[in-house]
Amino acid sequence: MKRGRVLWHLVKADFLGRVRRTSFLVTLAFAVFLGYQTFAGHVVLRLDDYRGVYNSAWVGALMGVVTSSFLTLVGFYIVKGSILRDETTRVGQILAATPMSKSFYTLAKFLGNFAALAAMVLVMAVAALCMQMFRAEDRTLHLGALLSPLLLYALPAMAFVAALAVLFETLPVLRGGVGNVAWFFLWTALLVAGVGPAASRNGSLTRADYFHDFSGLPTMVVQMRTALLKVDPGFQDSISLSIGGKPPQHRFVWTGIRWDSVQVAARLTWVAYAIAAALLASLFFHRFDPARERFTQKQQEAPDRPAVQELAAARELVRSDPWAGRLTPLPPASVKNRFFSVVIAELRLMLQGHRWWWYAVAGGLIVACAAAPLPASSGGIILAAWIWPMLIWSQMGSREARYATGSLIFSAPHALQRQLPAVWVAGVLVTMAAGSGLAIRLLIARDLHGFAGFLVAACFIPSLALALGVWSGSSKSFEALYTVWWYTGAAHHIPGLDFTGTFAASSRPGLYLLLTAALLAACWMRRRTQLAYA
C-alpha cells in the first residue's frame, strides 16, 4: 500500500511537471495536428483503390494505427529526457537520498512517460469521435469498435515507447544523440518486423506473427482484406498507410476487428515488454551518482590532487598573502573585433572531445567520397559523410542553454553580430570538410551544378541545426528531425526533400538556399530576443 502511494506521487509529480511546461502543449498540438490531418482525409489507409466507410470501426482503426505507427516515433523524442531533467534540476540528488529503490524510480519514470503519451492518445480518441460525427458517412456510434484500436493497439505501443525512452536514458551510449538516431532505425525495424510476415505470406498471419506486430497494422489489415475480398474478389493485395496522395475512389463497409484471446494476449505482451524494459533500465540506472554520471573518464585521467592538500594550500595562501598575483592592466588595443578568432574558437569547441576513431571514420569517408566513382559518391557515400558529424551540428545554438553558459557569452560584446555568425561559419566549415571528398570529385568532373548544390547543402545543414538549437535550447529536436529527413528525403533521393543537392535527379538548390536564408533569419530573431534586445 505504502509502495503504491509512493509510486503514485512519483508519477503524479512527474506528470504535473510535464503538463505545466510549454513543450507539453506543443506535444498535444502535434497530436491535434495529426488527428486533424487524418480527419481531413490527408492520412489514408488504402487497400487497392478502396477505403472503408467512415463508421466507428474504420475511424477507430485508422486513428489507432496512425497513433501506433506515426505518433510512436515522435512520442519517444518527446518523453525522452525525464531522468536528465531530474539530474539537471538536482531533484535527482534528493530522490537518491530517499529509500526509494532504483527499479521503483525507473518504473515511475516509465509511468510518467506513459501518462504523457496516453494524453496524446486521448487527443486522437477525441479526433476519432469528431471525424465520425463530422464526416457523417455513418453516424451510428459503436464505442467498442471506435476505441478498442486506440486502447489495444495505440496504448500498448505507447507503453513500449515510454519504457524504451527510460531504458535509452539509463544506457550511457544511448542517452545522448546516438540514442536519438538509433531510435529512428529501431522504430523502422519494429514496423517492418510486423509488416514483413503478412506481406510474405500473402496476407495470412501465424500465431507468432501477432506477437511480433508492434503497430497492429498487419493484424488489422488481414481482417480488412477478408472483408474486402467478399466485395471485390479481384483485390490485388496493394495496401498502404500514407500521408497525402490521391484519395481512393471506392468504399467498402468494414464492421471492425474481431478480437480473440491470441490478439489481446499479443497486445498485452507489449505492455509486459514495457515493464521488463523499465525494470531492465534500473540495472543501468546510476542513481545520480556523480562518479557514474558524465565525466567519470575525464576525472580519472586528470592528475589527482587530494582535497586535504588543496585545502592546506588555500589556507597557506590566505595566511601568507591573499593576493597571489598582480594583474597587469590590459592595453586597450588588445580588445579588437576579430571575427575569425571567434570562428576558430567555435571550431575548436565543436571538435573538442571526440575520440581518435571518430576522426578516423570522418577521414575515411572523405577519402571514400574522393576515391569512389562520382555517382556512388554523390548518391551514396556523401549520405554517410553527412550523418557522421550530426552530434557536432546538434550542439549548435543549444550548447549555451545545455551548459548554462549563456549569461557568460551573451554579456560579451557583439554576441549577436560576432558569436552567432561565428558558430554558423564553423558549422559550415565542418560540413564542407566532412563532404570535401565529394567537392573535389565534383570540381574535377567540372560539375558546377552539383558543386553549387554541395555548397547550398553545406550551408543548409548547419543553418537547420543552429535554428533548431537556438529555438528549442536542446540538441534533441535537430537529432530527431535531421535523422528522419536524412532517411526519408536524402537517402531515398526524394525531389524536394533531398537536401544534399549533389544527386542531379533530386537536387533543388534554389529551394534550399531560400530555406537556409529563412532559417538564418529565424536564428537571428530568436537570439536577438535572448540577448534582451527590445
Partner 1 sequence: MEPSCTFVRSNPIVQIQIQNLSKTYPNGVKALDHVSLTIPGGMYGLLGPNGAGKSTLMRTLATLQEADSGSAVFGDLDVLRQKEEVRRRLGYLPQDFGVYPNLNTQEFLEYLAAVKGLDATAARRRIDQLLNLVNLADVRSRPLGGFSGGMKQRVGIAQALLNDPQLLIVDEPTAGLDPEERVRFRNLLSELSGERIVILSTHIVSDVEATATDIALISNGALVAHAAPEDLLRRVEGRVWEWVVPSADLNAVKQCYRISNTARRSDGVHVRVLTEEPPAGALPVAPTLEDAYLDSLSIYRAGAIA
Give the residues lining the site for partner 1 (CB under 8 A).
294-295, 298-299, 301-303, 305, 307, 311, 313-315, 317-318, 322-332, 334-338, 341-342, 344-345, 348-349, 352-353, 399, 403-405, 407-415, 418-419, 531-534
The DSSP string of 149-212 is HIIIIIHHHHHHHHHHHHHHHHSTTTSSHHHHHHHHHHHHHHHHHHHHHHHHTTT---HHHHHH
Residue 349 one-letter amino acid: L
Which C-beta is closer to partner 1: that of 177 or that of 218? 177
Residue 214 one-letter amino acid: F
| Minimum gap (Å) between residue 191 Cβ and partner 1 | 36
Which C-beta is closer to partner 1: that of 313 or that of 521? 313
Q: In whole angstroms, what is the distance from residue 316 CA to residue 312 CA?
A: 6
Residue 435 and residue 458 in contact, taking contact as beta carbons nearer than 8 Å: yes
| Minimum gap (Å) between residue 296 Cβ and partner 1 | 9
| Minimum gap (Å) between residue 410 Cβ and partner 1 | 6
Which C-beta is closer to partner 1: that of 234 or that of 329? 329
| Minimum gap (Å) between residue 426 Cβ and partner 1 | 11
Which C-beta is closer to partner 1: that of 204 or that of 341? 341
The DSSP string of 399-411 is HHHHTT-HHHHHT
Residue 439 grid cell: 567537392
Beta bridge partners of 50: 47, 250
Q: In whole angstroms, what is the distance from residue 503 CA to residue 374 CA?
A: 10
The kind and range of the H/E element at 47 are strand 43-47
| Minimum gap (Å) between residue 295 Cβ and partner 1 | 3
| Minimum gap (Å) between residue 332 Cβ and partner 1 | 8
Residue 160 and residue 273 in contact, taking contact as beta carbons nearer than 8 Å: yes
Over the Cα atoms of the chain, what is R_g?
Answer: 27
Beta bridge partners of 240: 46
Beta bridge partners of 251: 51
The DSSP string of 203-263 is T---HHHHHH-SSSHHHHHHHHHHHHHHH-TT----EEEEESSPPPSEEE--------HHH
Query: Is beta strand 50-52 parallel, antiparallel or unpaired with respect to 250-252?
Result: parallel
| Minimum gap (Å) between residue 353 Cβ and partner 1 | 4
The residues near 95 (Cβ < 8 Å, ≥ 6 apart) are: 86, 105, 288
Phi then psi dihedrals of residue 52, to 5 deg: -80, 155
Which C-beta is closer to partner 1: that of 307 or that of 505? 307
| Minimum gap (Å) between residue 16 Cβ and partner 1 | 18
| Minimum gap (Å) between residue 297 Cβ and partner 1 | 9
Which C-beta is closer to partner 1: that of 178 or that of 513? 178
**In the block, residue with C-alpha cell 480527419:** 39
Which C-beta is closer to partner 1: that of 99 or that of 413? 413
Residue 177 and residue 402 in contact, taking contact as beta carbons nearer than 8 Å: no
Which C-beta is closer to partner 1: that of 238 or that of 299? 299
| Minimum gap (Å) between residue 532 Cβ and partner 1 | 5
The residues near 398 (Cβ < 8 Å, ≥ 6 apart) are: 468, 469, 470, 472, 473, 474, 475, 478
| Minimum gap (Å) between residue 25 Cβ and partner 1 | 16
| Minimum gap (Å) between residue 172 Cβ and partner 1 | 15
Q: In whole angstroms, what is the distance from residue 128 CA to residue 58 CA?
A: 10
| Minimum gap (Å) between residue 253 Cβ and partner 1 | 54
The residues near 370 (Cβ < 8 Å, ≥ 6 apart) are: 377, 436, 437, 438, 440, 441
Which C-beta is closer to partner 1: that of 136 or that of 333? 333
Half-sphere exposure (CA, 13 Å, Cβ side) for 323? 2
Which C-beta is closer to partner 1: that of 101 or that of 341? 341
Query: Is beta strand 250-252 parallel, antiparallel or unpaired with respect to 43-47?
Result: unpaired
